[in-house]
């Protein structure tokens, strides 16, 4: 019996050692998998920090047929086969105040359902617990099943999912392969990448159907159907939106940033003009190099006439001529390459642009003043029949008559008129609130 006890203790010790060794191997494998994934995705600084902090060495390497993405795909396949749905790996980080609000709303919905005041739904009660022992002791208990309403509750619960649009994950600059001064320039340009959701969709733009269609042909469709845009049908590399101010040129660019799955560079004159000699040309070159690194990319130059105006000989500064020359060289190389980079520019005075720049902007679209139908749609959007419920603000307008009388108004002008009309109605309410004595 003593030998049996010793043998049992020894086996338990061996099993415990084996489990501890397996746990240590599992942690080590996870660290090396993460390190390999970071290096494969170009996060070299993070991989180096992990290597230093976890004290990894070259004694172990990942096998050829194993990587983190493959393991995740196999787990998703297993989860789909077992539960008929894909697993949720990440969830939205909800603050404490939002959780409290969700719980409060859920309680309100449950109370409403308990009183059967919503949708005339009757609760289903299950009595007579047949398969339960001592049923006479449970005579005062009823099981009530209540259907929850699908209005506010579902909206609050769905807000915790990842179906909403998230920020795109860009490649780190450590994989760009540059150092020193050029890396500093690349970091300056990377700050101009638009990571925020501008929340401007094609449907938000009233009118301008031709401009929207051409932008889709230049940016959206070549990414969705690349096999169709080859040879003579290769997409345009440059597009100029020109027209009167306030007609929606910048709004179209925001829609491109929101709808298109490209890296969007929002470049202004302050981003690429430097007071130091030669830095402006370097910034132009680095801009296109970083755009190639993050391809497919869209470079947006608002008011391009500030950078590429007509060259007028002796009256122009040497630095301005060098900047324009570098910009023209980069655009010329862009047109003769297969790089998936698209230049989108806007201007209110296209006749002031350099002819060489106009030649490189292959497609030029006139964004004109809105038509009568577009003006009516804008009025309905800004001044609907019910503007707001609290405070109550309604409008009773003849949209057809107003849209005809607003001929010659730009989209920005119509927005300002609608805002002033709403403020006039609000001023009367504010006057009453200010003059009426407090109770």
Q: 362 φ, ψ to 5°?
A: -65, -40
Residues 300 and 382 in one domain: no
Does residue 304 share a domain with residue 219? yes
Among residues 337, 342, 205, the alpha carbon closest in space to that of 260 is found at: 342
Sheet strands side by side (includes 341-347): 263-267, 297-301, 341-347, 238-242, 363-366
Instruction: Please report the pLDDT score of residue 304 as a whole number.
Output: 86
Helix (H) or strand (E) holding 48: helix 44-54
Question: Binding site annotation covers 144?
Answer: no
pLDDT of residue 151: 46
Does the predicted TM-score (pTM) go above 0.75? no
Instruction: Please check if 235 is assigned to a binding site.
Output: no
Among candidate residues 307, 335, 366, the one where a domain is terminated: 366
Same domain, 349 and 378: no
Q: Is the peptide bond before 320 cis (omega within 30 degrees of 0)?
A: no
The response to whether 250 counts as a known ligand-binding position is yes
Taking the C-alpha atoms of residue 217 and residue 236, their distance in angstroms, rounded to an integer, is 9
Structural domains counted in the chain = 3
**Both tokens assigned to 178:** 């540059």
Domain membership of residue 409 (yes or no) is: yes
42 labelled binding-site residue:
no
151 vs 146: CA distance, rounded Å: 15
Q: Residue with structure tokens 């996060």?
A: 43
Which residues are CB-contacts of 264 (< 8 A; sequence separation ≥ 6)? 193, 194, 256, 257, 297, 298, 300
Residue 117 placed within a domain = no
Residue 130 domain flag: no
How many CA atoms lie less than 13 Å away from 122 in the CB half-sphere?
3
pLDDT averaged over 10-residue windows placed end to end, the chain, 439 residues: 66 80 82 84 81 76 83 86 85 71 72 56 46 47 47 44 50 64 79 80 86 86 83 84 89 86 83 80 86 85 82 70 83 73 88 85 87 88 77 76 87 89 82 73
Using CB atoms within 10 Å of the CB of residue 202, give its burial: 0 to 12 exposed, 13 to 18 middle, 19+ buried. Answer: middle
Task: Verify that 36 and 69 share a domain, yes or no.
Answer: yes
Is 380 within a domain?
yes
Q: Which of 366, 391, 412 is the last residue of a domain?
A: 366
Indicate whether 147 belongs to any domain. no
Residues 251 and 209 occupy one common structural domain: yes
Report pLDDT for 325.
Answer: 82
In terms of domains, do 229 and 299 share one? yes
What is the pLDDT, as a whole number, of residue 155? Answer: 47
Cα 50 to Cα 38, 413, 417, distances in angstroms: 9, 55, 58
290 and 389 fall within a common domain: no
Residue 200 located in a structural domain: yes
Q: Which of these three, 85, 101, 121, is where a domain ends? A: 85
What confidence score (pLDDT) does residue 170 get?
65
Q: Find residue 359's DSSP bridge partners.
A: none
| Residue 326 to residue 334: CA distance in whole angstroms | 12
Domain span at residue 15 reads 1-85
CATH code of the domain covering residue 388: 1.10.8.60
Pair (387, 322) in one structural domain? no
Residue 164 within any structural domain of the chain: no
Helices within 267-368 (DSSP H only): 269-272, 279-293, 318-335, 355-360
- Distance CA(111)–CA(146), nearest Å, equals 10
Instruction: Give the alpha-carbon dihedral of 191, 197, 199, 205, to 10 degrees.
Output: 40
d(CA 378, CA 369): 12
- 244 among the known binding-site residues? yes
Q: What angle do CA 172, 177, 178 make, to 5 degrees?
A: 100
In a domain, 139, yes or no: no
77 and 38 inside one domain: yes
Shortest CA distance to 206 belongs to which of 428, 418, 435? 418
231 is in an annotated binding site: no
Kind and range of the H or E run holding 289: helix 279-293
Residues 276 and 422 in one domain: no
- The domain that holds 229 is classified in CATH as 3.40.50.300
Q: 147: annotated binding-site residue?
A: no
Ligand-binding site membership of 249 (annotated):
yes
Burial class (CB in 10 A: 0-12, 13-18, 19+), 266: middle
Q: How far apart are CA 202 and CA 193, in angstroms?
A: 21
One domain, residues 286 and 351: yes
**Tokens found for residue 286:** 């680095």
Half-sphere exposure in the Cβ direction for 364 (13 Å, CA):
14
Same domain, yes or no, for 308 and 328?
A: yes
């Amino acid at each position: 019996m003593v030998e049996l006890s010793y043998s049992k203790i020894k086996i338990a010790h061996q099993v415990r050692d084996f489990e501890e060794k397996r746990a240590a191997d599992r942690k080590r494998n996870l660290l090396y998998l993460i390190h390999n994934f970071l290096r494969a995705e170009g996060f070299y600084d993070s991989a180096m920090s992990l290597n230093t902090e976890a004290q990894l060495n070259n004694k172990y390497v990942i096998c050829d047929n194993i990587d983190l993405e493959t393991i995740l795909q196999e787990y998703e396949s297993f989860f789909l086969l077992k539960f008929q749905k894909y697993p949720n790996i990440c969830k939205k980080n909800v603050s404490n105040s939002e959780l409290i609000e969700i719980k409060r709303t859920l309680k309100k919905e449950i109370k409403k359902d308990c009183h059967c005041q919503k949708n005339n739904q009757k609760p289903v009660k299950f009595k007579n617990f047949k398969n339960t022992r001592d049923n006479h002791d449970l005579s005062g208990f009823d099981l009530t099943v209540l259907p929850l309403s699908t209005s506010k509750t579902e909206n609050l619960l769905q807000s915790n999912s990842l179906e909403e649009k998230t920020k795109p994950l860009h490649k780190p600059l450590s994989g760009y392969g540059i150092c020193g001064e050029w890396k500093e320039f690349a970091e300056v340009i990377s700050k101009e990448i638009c990571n925020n959701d501008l929340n401007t969709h094609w449907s938000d733009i009233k009118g301008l159907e031709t401009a929207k269609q051409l932008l889709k042909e230049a940016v959206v469709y070549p990414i969705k159907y690349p096999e169709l845009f080859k040879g003579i049908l290769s997409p345009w590399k440059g597009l100029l939106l020109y027209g009167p101010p306030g007609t929606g040129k910048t709004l179209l660019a925001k829609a491109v940033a929101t709808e298109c799955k490209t890296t969007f560079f929002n470049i202004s004159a302050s981003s690429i003009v430097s007071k130091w000699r030669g830095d402006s040309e370097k910034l132009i070159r680095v801009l296109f190099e970083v755009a190639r690194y993050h391809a497919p990319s869209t470079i947006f130059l608002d008011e391009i006439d500030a950078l590429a105006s007509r060259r007028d000989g002796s009256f122009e500064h040497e630095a301005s001529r060098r900047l324009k020359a570098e910009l023209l060289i980069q655009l010329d190389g862009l047109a003769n390459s297969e790089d998936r980079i698209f230049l989108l520019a806007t201007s209110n005075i296209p006749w002031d642009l350099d002819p060489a720049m106009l030649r490189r902007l292959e497609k030029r679209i006139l964004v004109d003043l809105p038509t009568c139908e577009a003006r009516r749609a804008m009025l309905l959007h800004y001044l609907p029949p019910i503007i707001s419920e609290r405070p109550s603000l309604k409008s009773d307008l003849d949209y057809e008559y107003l849209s005809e009388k607003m001929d010659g108004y730009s989209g920005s002008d119509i927005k300002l008129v609608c805002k002033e009309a709403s403020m006039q109605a609000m001023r009367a309410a504010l006057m009453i609130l200010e003059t009426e004595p407090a109770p």
